[in-house]
């Protein structure tokens, strides 16, 4: 049956035993072993449609990934559809819209949009695909100003469970359009997405870093600054354990650090006024803040751009009061978050907290902060200690967290229902059953 598929698509089809299969099935996040039946690297939407029709004919499931930033171990027996060859980006500056194929990254979009003095609602790294980002809702650096990235989708181009290629908008198919904006990829294979762009603002951004001994002072300043922050200002607080790599300069090599990452949609003078609390904290070992071209947004957090195995968890904090702050510092100390690589608190609120009548499944967030903890799985024996540290932090913070999580920050194989209110998840399941009754599509976090 796989040989039949090879006859009808332009892209590459690989199965166990083929040269390149082992490499092709590996996700970007190598902590997950994806045991799949075959890997198909699609050239275009026609290839995608052929794969879906073939899978439906033979009773197989299709799991779609551009590169696998958020993979799943639940793909055994599936066809893994790679869309990474589909990378075209077309900006329509007069409409402030970009059409982005399913494999294109945020960095490709930021670079293309910047030529027209426009930008999109990208997250912390330019390496992730735009399509995967918006299917999961999309928490952007500019989310406090503009809300979820998913709520600024104009249209989806997709292949449905019948293998038909369609363009879906709020007017043409409101149920499916709603589900795809933050409900994951369980309902169709998206081949391209049209997203709204925004005038490229003045952008002040960068990272401040101190030794971890300054964590309490930095957290106090973070709480004060976020309490009154305008929606143009986004602040992330991070406890960081840097690796002892020789390529890192002193004093960063092996440093247990505390960081402030910042973006401000405005000029430097006002930004520095808003950040005065942090400038008063002595002992900084790094300060990269300054006026920044918007297409260099992904450089602020210095996240890895090469495939990295990781174990991550996240929780939403209802507040960051004295109790929560004291608990966080106690749970992540003393001195280092190791064996974790980081524990990050992102300030939410602003437009993310505002209900929208036209919102997608991502809805809005009433919680004011998110805590995100991750460890690099450099060898298998690290999994236990990393999970234990994450669990101990989660237990300590449980009185301060809500029951909901953010979809795009779900850990490997965490259930999708933890990311949605009950009524939202019930509607997503109904749409899944109606649109894909045979279960042809299998997402990283399935709703059915």
Nearest to 346 by CA among 224, 262, 221: 262
Packed helices 322-332 and 383-397: angle between N→C axes, nearest 10 degrees: 160
Conformation bin of residue 439: beta by default, left when phi > 0, alpha when psi is -120 to 50:
left
Q: What is the pLDDT of residue 211?
A: 96
| 0.75 surpassed by pTM | yes
Instruction: Evaluate whether 260 touches 236 at the Cβ level (below 8 Å).
Output: yes
Asked whether the predicted pLDDT for residue 129 surpasses 80, the reply is yes
Cα-Cα-Cα-Cα dihedral sign, residues 398, 403, 409, 415: positive
pLDDT in tens, 18-27: 999 999 999 9
Task: Supply the pLDDT for residue 69.
Answer: 81
Tokens of 203: 């952008």
Distance CA 378, CA 229 (A): 38
Report the share of the chain in percent with pLDDT over 90.
86
Residue 19: CB atoms within 10 A of its CB come to 8
Going by pLDDT thresholds of 50, 70 and 90, the confidence category of residue 217 is very high
Encoded tokens for 61 = 């499931």
Residue 308 pLDDT level (bands cut at 50, 70, 90) = confident
Element (H, E) at 90: strand 89-92
Q: What is the pLDDT of residue 245?
A: 80
| pLDDT tier at 338, thresholds 50, 70, 90 | very high
Of 411, 144, 130, which Cα lies nearest the Cα of 298?
A: 130
Top-confidence residue, 249 or 141: 141
Categorize the per-residue pLDDT at 200 as very low, low, confident or very high, splitting at 50, 70 and 90. Answer: confident
Helix (H) or strand (E) holding 4: helix 2-6
Q: Does pLDDT of 305 surpass 80?
A: no
Residue 438 burial (CB < 10 Å; 0-12/13-18/19+)? exposed
On whether the CB atoms of residues 444 and 414 are closer than 8 A, the answer is no
Per-residue model confidence as pLDDT tens digits over 14-47? 999 999 999 999 998 888 889 999 999 999 999 9
Does residue 1 carry a pLDDT above 80? no
In this predicted structure, the answer to whether residue 127 has a pLDDT above a threshold of 80 is: yes
Q: Which percentage of the chain shows pLDDT scores above 70?
A: 100
Mean pLDDT for the stretch of residues 438-446: 94
> Across all residues in the chain, what is the average pLDDT?
94
Question: Does residue 159 surpass a pLDDT of 80?
Answer: yes
Residue 3 scores a pLDDT above 90: no
pLDDT at position 329 is 96
Does residue 244 register a pLDDT over 90?
Answer: no
Structure tokens at 271: 């930004």
Lowest-confidence pick of 204-218, 243-257, 269-283: 243-257
Q: What is the pLDDT of residue 98?
A: 98
Confidence (pLDDT) at 67:
82
Show the domains of the chain with their CATH numbers.
204-409 (3.40.462.20)
Pairing of the two strands 62-65 and 79-82: parallel
Residue with tokens 């009808």: 8
* Alpha carbons 204 and 260: distance in angstroms, whole number: 13
Confidence of residue 334 (pLDDT cuts 50, 70, 90): confident
Spatial neighbors of 69 by CB under 8 A, at least 6 apart, are 27, 28, 29, 127, 128, 129, 132
pLDDT at residue 303, as a whole number: 85
Rounded Cα distance between 257 and 241, Å, is: 6
Per residue in 67-105, pLDDT (tens digit) is: 888 787 788 899 999 999 999 999 999 999 999 999 999
CB 392 within 8 A of CB 300: no
Give residue for tokens 């995967």.
132
Band of residue 337 on the pLDDT scale cut at 50, 70, 90: very high
Q: What is the SS3 assignment for 74? A: coil
């Amino acid at each position: 049956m796989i040989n039949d598929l090879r006859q009808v698509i332009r892209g590459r089809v690989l199965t166990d035993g083929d040269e390149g299969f082992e490499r092709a099935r590996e996700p970007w996040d190598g902590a997950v072993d994806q045991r799949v039946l075959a890997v198909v690297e699609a050239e275009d939407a026609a290839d995608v449609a052929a794969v879906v029709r073939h899978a439906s004919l033979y009773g197989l499931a299709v799991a779609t990934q551009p590169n696998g930033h958020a993979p799943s171990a639940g793909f055994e027996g599936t066809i893994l559809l790679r869309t990474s060859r589909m990378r075209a980006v077309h900006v329509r500056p007069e409409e402030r819209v970009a059409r982005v194929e399913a494999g294109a990254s945020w960095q490709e979009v930021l670079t293309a949009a910047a030529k027209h003095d426009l930008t999109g609602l990208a997250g912390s790294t330019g390496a992730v695909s735009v399509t995967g980002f918006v299917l999961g809702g999309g928490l952007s650096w500019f989310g406090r100003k503009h809300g979820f990235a998913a709520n600024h989708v104009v249209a989806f181009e997709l292949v449905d469970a019948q293998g038909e290629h369609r363009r879906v908008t709020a007017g043409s198919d409101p149920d499916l359009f709603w589900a795809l904006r933050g409900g994951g990829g369980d309902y169709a294979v998206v081949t391209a997405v049209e997203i709204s762009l925004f005038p490229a603002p003045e952008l002040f951004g960068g990272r401040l870093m101190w030794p971890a001994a300054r964590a309490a002072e930095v957290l106090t300043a973070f709480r004060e600054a976020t309490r009154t922050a305008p929606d143009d200002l986004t602040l992330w607080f991070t406890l960081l354990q840097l690796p002892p790599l020789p390529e890192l300069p002193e004093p960063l090599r092996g440093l247990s650090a505390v960081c402030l990452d910042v973006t401000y949609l405005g000029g430097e003078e006002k930004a520095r006024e808003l950040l005065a609390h942090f400038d008063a904290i002595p002992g900084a070992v790094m300060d990269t803040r300054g006026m920044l071209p918007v297409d260099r947004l992904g450089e602020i957090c210095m996240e890895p751009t090469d495939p990295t195995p990781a174990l991550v968890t996240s929780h939403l904090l209802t507040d960051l009061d004295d109790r929560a702050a004291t608990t966080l510092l106690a749970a992540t100390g003393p001195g280092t978050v190791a064996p974790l690589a980081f524990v990050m608190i992102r300030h939410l609120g602003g437009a993310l907290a505002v209900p929208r009548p036209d919102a997608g499944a991502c809805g809005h967030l009433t919680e004011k902060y998110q805590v995100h903890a991750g460890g690099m799985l450099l060898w298998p024996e690290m999994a236990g200690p990393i999970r234990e540290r994450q669990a101990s932090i989660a237990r300590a913070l449980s009185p301060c967290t809500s029951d909901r999580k953010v979809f795009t920050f779900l850990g490997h194989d965490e259930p999708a229902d933890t990311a949605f209110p009950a009524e939202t998840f019930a509607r997503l399941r109904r749409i899944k059953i109606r649109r894909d009754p045979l279960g042809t599509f299998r997402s990283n976090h399935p709703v059915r």
